[in-house]
Amino acid sequence: MKYRTIGTGPHSREVSVLALGAMLFGSVTDERTSFALLDRYVEAGGNFIDTSDNYAFWTDGGQGGQSEELLGRWRRSRGVGDEIVVATKLGARPLAPGTSFTDNPEGLSAKVIRESSERSRERLGTERLDLLYAHIDDHTVPQRETVEAFGALVAEGTVGLLGVSNQAVWRVERARALAAAAGLPGYEVLQYQHSYLRPRTDVPDALFPDGSLGHAGPDLAGYLRAEPALTLVAYSPLLKGAYTRPERLPADYDHPGTPARLAALHEVARETGATPNQVVLAWQIGHELPVLPLAGVSSPAQLEENLAAVELELSAEQRARLDAAH
């Protein structure tokens, strides 16, 4: 396994370059399988696990919490302590069963941030959340209130690092500026969708009526170049299996630039003897920007494939070819 540092100051952590997504653990993925995957990931040197307080509400029409609860049971049964970094999120938990984060999210008020973080700590069985993200934006609450609420949790010692996901870059920068002006900790880890294929970001949906803010586009790349202390955690790096099952390719990736990048990807995969998935992960891990792929798995075979990608070294020429395809 390889590692990189996330965050700055006393709460910075060394985490494995491959993060494990636990979104469906405890729901779609049963407990026995989930425990086996977690055990193998840790055995291989992995120490960076990702969840959220709303995972996986859509599987039973509830409010989520199954993933955090499972991780709590796993932590207790294995005696897991501070050596494993568990990241969770708040803000997108439905306020009532049968609703969603698009029509009834908990939001980012000071009250929600405190109460939701307490529930997450209880479910996970930990006194401190290693990394806590604002999962989605909340335009109904002043950003200063959100910034101060997160800062208070860090000051109290119940949260280590702060992160943000699925927000416009200008909103992230505004929140960080407010935190800096107040002498408070700000967001240091940014979690956005990022993969080798590039999506259209102008396609609106229920959460983003003006087009997606959840993808790591050129604005975010430029922001990372300007702020080297920040880290991008890349969710859905393998596009839910679309690199091996083209019928799963999301509609926003169906555009004229995709075939050329797929051709380059498969060419490099043949040259290296690796799978396309492994090339994607290796491309991210060795990226000039600080990118940490966050990949979910549902079987031991998928996990082993992903773990092997950590040791895959792409040549400078192969990287240049991959980057140039469009």
What residues are annotated to the active site?
Answer: 55
Q: Are 89 and 133 in contact (CB under 8 A)?
A: yes
Residue found by looking up tokens 């405190």 in the block: 114
What is the residue type of 37? L
Tell me how far apart the alpha carbons of residues 67 and 27 are, in angstroms, rounded to a whole number.
7
What is the residue type of 19? A
Tell me how far apart the alpha carbons of residues 282 and 313 are, in angstroms, rounded to a whole number.
7
310: nearest Cα among 286, 287, 294, 290: 286
Report helix, strand or coil for 259.
Answer: helix
Within 13 Å of residue 57, how many CA atoms lie on the same side as its CB?
A: 19
Q: Are 285 and 278 in contact (CB under 8 A)?
A: no
194: nearest Cα among 226, 235, 153, 156: 235
